[in-house]
Structure 1
Amino acid sequence: MAGKVTRRILTVAVLAAVAGGVALSFRPSPELVDLAEVTRAPMQLTVDAEGKTNVHDVFTVSTPIAGRILRLGVEVGDPVEAGKTVLARILPADPALLDMRARKQAIKTVIGAEAALRAAQAEVSRCEAELIVAQSDLDRTRRLHEKGNATHEALQRDEADARSAEAGLETAKATVIMRKADLDRSRAELERFDAPSSPGEDGVALKAPITGTVLKVMEESETILAAGTAVLDLGDVRNDLEVTVPLLSADAVKVKLGMPVLICEWGGEAPLTGRIVEIAPVGWTKTTALGVEEQRVDIRVAFDGDEAARAGLGAGYRIEARVILWSDPAALQVPSTALVRDGGAWVLFTVREGRAHRREVRRGRDNGVDAQLLDGPDPGTPVVLYPPPGLADGMPVAERQAE
Structure 2
Amino acid sequence: MFKNKLMVGLSIGLAIFAVGYVFNHFQATEVQVRTVLRGELAEYIEVRGKVEMDRKELISSKWSGVVGDILVREGNMVQPDTALLSLKVLNSGNAAAELEKARISKQAALRDFNYKNEKLEKYRKLYREGIVSEEEVKDLEMAVTAAEAARVAAEQQYKIVADNFLVNSSLGLESGNGRLTVRAGTTGKILAKYVDSGVSVVSGAPLFEVERENSAYYVRADVLTDDAVKLKLGQTAILTGEALDDAELPGKIVYIAPKAETTLSSLGVEQQRVEVRISYSYQDLPLRLGYGVDVKIVAALEPDAIFVPEKAVFEKEGIDHVLAIEENKLKLLPVKTGIENDDYIQILEGLREGDKIAVDPDNKLKPGMRVKIRR
Are the structure 2 counterparts of residues 349 and 246 from structure 1 closer, same or farther at C-alpha, using a change threshold of 3 Å? Answer: same
Which of 81, 85, 89 is equivalent to 1:88?
85
Q: Shift of the alpha carbon at 1:275?
A: 0.4
CA-to-partner distance for each residue in 1:177-208, whole Å, 9 max, x for gaps?
xxxxxxxx89963832247x776xxx625236
Which of 158, 161, 186 is equivalent to 1:209?
186
CA-to-partner distance for each residue in 1:304-347, whole Å, 9 max, x for gaps?
4x3226x1111221122233332212211111222244556543
Which of 188, 192, 197 is equivalent to 1:221?
197
Q: Does the Cα contact within 8 Å between 1:66 and 1:227 map onto a contact in 2?
A: yes
SS in 2 for 1:191: coil
Q: Considering only CA atoms, is the larger Rg found in Structure 1 or Structure 2? A: 1
Q: Does the Cα contact within 8 Å between 2:63 and 2:89 map onto a contact in 1?
A: no
- In structure 2, give the amino acid aligned to 1:40: R
Q: Shift of the alpha carbon at 1:99?
A: 3.9
Which of 250, 272, 275 is equivalent to 2:250?
272
Q: Does the Cα contact within 8 Å between 1:261 and 1:301 map onto a contact in 2?
A: no
Aligned pairs for 1:4-403 (under 5 A) are 15=12, 18-24=15-21, 26-27=23-24, 29-65=27-63, 67-76=65-74, 78-83=75-80, 86-90=83-87, 92-93=88-89, 99=93, 189=170, 191-194=172-175, 204=181, 206-207=183-184, 209-214=186-191, 216-236=192-212, 239-265=215-241, 267-268=243-244, 269-279=247-257, 281-288=259-266, 291-304=267-280, 306-308=281-283, 311-342=285-316, 345-389=319-363, 391=365, 395-401=369-375
Are the structure 2 counterparts of residues 8 and 204 from structure 1 closer, same or farther at C-alpha, using a change threshold of 3 Å? Answer: same
Are the structure 2 counterparts of residues 396 and 229 from structure 1 closer, same or farther at C-alpha, using a change threshold of 3 Å? Answer: closer
CA-to-partner distance for each residue in 1:63-101, whole Å, 9 max, x for gaps?
35555432434444x2423337543233x4486xx7489
- In structure 1, give the amino acid aligned to 2:283: A
Distance 1:344 1:245 in 2: 34
Structure 2: tracts of 5 or more residues without a match: 98-165
How much is the aligned-residue C-alpha RMSD, in angstroms? 4.0
TM-score normalized with structure 1 length: 0.61
Are the structure 2 counterparts of residues 186 and 241 from structure 1 closer, same or farther at C-alpha, using a change threshold of 3 Å? Answer: closer
SS in 2 for 1:331: strand
Q: Does the Cα contact within 8 Å between 1:347 and 1:358 map onto a contact in 2?
A: yes
Q: Shift of the alpha carbon at 1:390?
A: 5.6
Distance 2:311 2:78 in 1: 58
Distance 2:43 2:327 in 1: 34
Distance 1:190 1:84 in 2: 21
Q: Shift of the alpha carbon at 1:299?
A: 0.8
SS in 2 for 1:251: helix
Are the structure 2 counterparts of residues 83 and 322 from structure 1 closer, same or farther at C-alpha, using a change threshold of 3 Å? Answer: same
Are the structure 2 counterparts of residues 315 and 280 from structure 1 closer, same or farther at C-alpha, using a change threshold of 3 Å? Answer: farther
TM-score normalized with structure 2 length: 0.65
Distance 1:38 1:79 in 2: 60
Q: Does the Cα contact within 8 Å between 2:90 and 2:168 map onto a contact in 1?
A: no
Are the structure 2 counterparts of residues 74 and 10 from structure 1 closer, same or farther at C-alpha, using a change threshold of 3 Å? Answer: farther
Distance 1:75 1:370 in 2: 52
Show the counterpart of 1:177: none
Distance 1:18 1:65 in 2: 105
- Identity between Structure 1 and Structure 2 (%): 17
Distance 1:287 1:366 in 2: 25
Distance 1:331 1:68 in 2: 68
Q: Shift of the alpha carbon at 1:283?
A: 1.6
Structure 1: tracts of 5 or more residues without a match: 104-184
CA-to-partner distance for each residue in 1:8-45, whole Å, 9 max, x for gaps?
89967864664345434653622210011211222222
Q: Does the Cα contact within 8 Å between 2:89 and 2:178 map onto a contact in 1?
A: no
Q: Does the Cα contact within 8 Å between 1:283 and 1:296 map onto a contact in 2?
A: yes
SS in 1 for 2:32: strand
Q: Shift of the alpha carbon at 1:382?
A: 2.5
Distance 1:326 1:86 in 2: 52
- In structure 2, give the amino acid aligned to 1:189: S
